Every structure is written in structure tokens, then in C-alpha cells.
Amino acid sequence: MSTKARIAVVKEAGSNFEMVEGSIAEPGPHEVLIEVVAAGVCHTDLAVQNGDLPTNFPVVLGHEGSGRVMAVGGHVEGLAPGDNVVLSYGSCGHCRPCQEGDPAYCADFEALNFMNKRQGSDDPVYADGPNAAFFQQSSFATHAIAHQRNVVKIDGDIDISLLGPLGCGIQTGAGAVLRTAQPPAGSALLVSGVGSVGMSAVMAAKLAGCRTIIAVDMNEDRLALAQELGATHSIKVSKETDVAEKVREIVAEGVDYAIECSGNAKAARSAWSSLAKRGTLVVVGAPPSGTDYSFDANEQILSGRKIVGCVEGDAKVKQFIPTLVELYRQGRFPFDRLVERYPFEKINDAVADLHDGRVLKPILEMG
């Protein structure tokens, strides 16, 4: 028996979200039907909505969902109706990166996460409706179909409506530090762009024991919050600011690690120039498709600097997300300070506020 759902649809690139109703399919053998309690809004959703990143319209976006299991397919293990869950990114489980424990680099990542390839069935999620397997969840809806690989069970008494952003933005920033960079205690680390991803990187750098944590942004309020959350220094950027010069006023030799979260080519170059010899730049922020970052080859050779790409914080979600939940419970990872809540019907307001920088991390409550 199909379940009625309220869904937010983007009909074409650049259009607003429209609220409609649809009948969602039953879960396939390896799928899970979720009653979505809440969903975070991510800059990736905005980039896809605007046509800067690919998808197939019309589409139901949303990839930071949280909620309760309603039904499971016949081959699903470890999940049962009533379980509280967080939804994360999709991966096939069969390709070489997945088999080697790096599902964020799945060979089928674009199809499973951006192009709505339903992993558990060839049938549409909504009969004659919009595409709705975005990141194997399409959680801008009251109900969603997800694959068992990207459904993370959350045990214990905790507000599940808060946890959706752990499925993408928050785990990306935290993982970029804790899993990709892995700075030893006492390191110097820079975070370029302190939106929700960058703030999560700041908190993770504090957890890692970094001696110097430099937050870089154009927004003074965000820089102030970054210092409350763990940054030891901040640099406010203007058109005239030489970030690398400012960094060396703080750390003479430059930073050991730079986490680039802004998706801005000039900021990426500044972060790279801020590195010490043998330093590592972790590229996290996603610019529009086709954007090139350039670095002087001889300077890179002589400095021994490394550039590393990072998807989803290199997270193995069924281990990393519960770890972040426990750190939050302990008061050591207060990502709730980044959140602003909106009713589901106010999705276009939430999107506008995120786009304009009025909020760090909107969460839609499905009601």
C-alpha cells in the first residue's frame, strides 16, 4: 500500500520549491521507507537548484534527512520500524573504492547522488512524479525512500530532528579535519570560509588538539562565532587582504593544514599560499562545475605542498555519524549552535536566508 507524502519539487533549474503531494513507493529489497522528521538545507541543494551542479529535473532535493523507519525491504538487516535514523550519501558497495573502504569515492557517485538513480529498484519513487532518489533519499519531503547503505541508526534518547545535517555538511567539515587531514596535536590549521562546513572543521580542529586554528571569512559575526567554537585567531577578508601575509604574522612558517570550504578560486589560492613547506591543502568547498584552481608548479615542487580533494569528509557514515553524535552528547561538538529551524512550508525562506548568509544551517521541520 502506497503512502501519501508532501514533497517540495524544483521543476526546472532556477525555479523555487513548490509543495505538492504524491504517493511514495514501497521500499525495495534493500531499501527503507522513512518518515522524515526534519532535513537540513545544504549549499549543495542550492547549487543543484540553480543549475550549477547537475541533476535531472523535475526533482525532489534534500540530502540531510533524519527521521524514523516505517518499513524495511526483505533483505535489510540491522534496521527495523521505529528506529531513529540519519540519512547520508549513497554508494554502490561494489566498486573498488567502496570495497576498499572509501565509499565517498564510489565509481557511481554522481548517478546515485545527483542523477536520481534509485539503487534498490528500477521503478520511480513517485509514480509519474518528480525524480526522487537524490543522494538516495530526496528528504525535502515528509517521507523518503533510502538505501540501507546510507541509513544510519541512532541509539539513545536524543532529538532526532537536530541530527540531519550530520549526514552531509557537518560530517564533511569535521571529516575533512579528523579523517582527511588528520592533523597531529600541536599543528597549525587554517579554515577558509566558516559557513556550517567550516565551523564544523573549526570544532574538529579543536578536538584534534591543533595549537593554532585560524578562521578566514568576510563576515565578522561568523568569525566571532568561530572563535567561540575553537578558533584561536581570525582573519577578516576584503579585496585588499593578503591572507598568506596575515597568516605568517600569526605562524611565521605558515600553517600545516588548510581546509578550503568556500568554493572560491581566489580563496583556494590564498589558502594554498598560506601553507608551510610540506603543508596540505584539503579542498572541500564545491564551486560551479568547470571552475579551475591554479597553482605555480615550481613553487609546489619546491615547497612539497600537497593538495587533497575531500568528498563527504571521507566518512564511513555508519561509524562516523554515531561518533559525532556521541561527541555532541559530551558537549565537545556543539554543532547545534549553527542551526536555525523552519517549518517545511517555509522552505523557500530557508533557502533565501542560507543563500544570503543570514543563517548557517537551516533545518526544515516536517511537522
Q: What SS3 class is residue 146?
A: strand
* Residue at 179: amino acid letter: R
CB 213 within 8 A of CB 231: yes
149 φ, ψ (degrees, to nearest 5):
-70, -30
Residue from 167, 163, 210 nearest 191 by CA: 210
CB 60 within 8 A of CB 132: yes
The dihedral through the CA atoms of 11, 17, 18, 20 has a sign that is: positive
Taking CA atoms, 150 is separated from 97, 262, 308, 359, in Å, by: 16, 26, 24, 27
Strands 143-147 and 212-217 come out as unpaired
Question: How far is residue 135's CA from residue 154's CA, in Å, rounded to a whole number?
Answer: 19
Q: What SS3 class is residue 291?
A: coil
CB 63 within 8 A of CB 90: no
CA angle 114, 354, 36 (to 5 degrees): 55
The predicted structure's pLDDT at residue 109: 97
pTM above 0.95, yes or no: yes
15 φ, ψ (degrees, to nearest 5):
-90, 160
Classify domain 3-167+334-365 by CATH number: 3.90.180.10
Q: What is the mean pLDDT of each run of 10 residues along the chain (367 residues)?
A: 90 98 95 98 96 96 98 97 98 97 97 94 88 98 98 96 98 98 98 98 98 97 98 95 97 98 95 98 90 90 96 97 98 98 98 96 97
Which grid cell sits at 325?
Answer: 553524535
Question: How far is residue 328's CA from residue 346's CA, in Å, rounded to a whole number?
Answer: 27
The reply to whether omega before 362 is within 30° of 0 (cis) is: no
CB 178 within 8 A of CB 184: no
Domains 3-167+334-365 and 170-311 share a fold: no
CA angle 20, 24, 27 (to 5 degrees): 155
Per-domain residue ranges for the chain? Answer: 3-167+334-365, 170-311
* Residue at 310: amino acid letter: C
The dihedral through the CA atoms of 60, 65, 68, 71 has a sign that is: positive
Phi-psi region of 290 (alpha: psi -120 to 50; beta: other; left: phi over 0): left
Instruction: Provide the CATH topology of domain 170-311.
Output: Rossmann fold (3.40.50)
86 φ, ψ (degrees, to nearest 5):
-115, 140
Contacts of residue 122, defined as CB under 8 A and 6 or more positions apart, other chains included, come to: none
The predicted structure's pLDDT at residue 15: 98
CB 363 within 8 A of CB 159: no
H or E stretch at 327 = helix 317-329
Contacts of residue 150, defined as CB under 8 A and 6 or more positions apart, other chains included, come to: 87, 88, 89, 90, 91, 135, 136, 137, 167, 317
Question: How far is residue 88's CA from residue 292's CA, in Å, rounded to a whole number?
Answer: 28
Contacts of residue 94, defined as CB under 8 A and 6 or more positions apart, other chains included, come to: none
